[in-house]
Amino acid sequence: MGIGALLLLAVGLSMDAFAVSVCKGLALRRATFKAEITCGVWFGGFQALMPLIGFFLGTLFATAIQAVDHWIAFGLLAIIGVNMLKEATSTEEECCCENGADLSMKTMFVMAVATSIDALAVGISLALVGNVNIFSAVTLIGVCTCILSMLGVKIGNVFGSRFESKAEFAGGILLILLGVKILLAHLGVRASSGRKGGGGGALL
């Protein structure tokens, strides 16, 4: 997986954390640097940790499902993406956090875990795709999420929550497109292998 695809993945995954950070900024009377870095570190840290855990879980059974691994990777990304689209287009008014201005360890831990659960499944997908430097991937995901979360607090504080649903929608689209890209690349490789194999048989 190239750097471009990993960057798209990082941005897509960070959109949930960005949306919650926008809510945080909206609830805060003033978006201080402390509030921004608190959200950035918590969300970025867990967004990096979860795919790392998922990757190592995925490697445990990757060889057993090698024939359908890319279909599973595509399915996981598509499910996550569709879920984000549903949340983004939901007509229900749903506050991302009742105690929006609360930056305590307990509150931030719960929210960081909640926004990074999807990343666990993505980590499994990365293990199934293969040819991924997981440490580079999780570093990029963590840094990207940290920066966008800090930016989200500021945006929410200044502009309100108008960007929240747009962020989730964009994130969902990115993850679905990435899943399609992985699947098409796999099917292309399979097709090429089939043609080469056929040619070899003819020569024999």
Is 204 a residue whose pLDDT tops 80? no
Write b or e for each residue in 61-100: b if 16 or more Cβ atoms lie within 10 A of its Cβ, otherwise e.
Answer: ebeeeeeebbbbbbebbbebbeebbebbeeeeeeebbeeb
Rounded CA separation 85/87 (Å): 5
Q: What is the pLDDT of residues 57-84, one digit of tens each?
A: 888 876 666 666 667 767 777 777 777 6
Q: What is the pLDDT of residues 174-185, one digit of tens each?
A: 767 767 776 776
| Angle CA 178–43–106, to nearest 5 | 140
pTM of the full predicted structure? 0.69
What are the sequence ranges of the domains in the chain?
A: 3-90+99-190
For residue 191, which of 183, 201, 203 has the smallest C-alpha distance?
183
At residue 51, the pLDDT reads 93
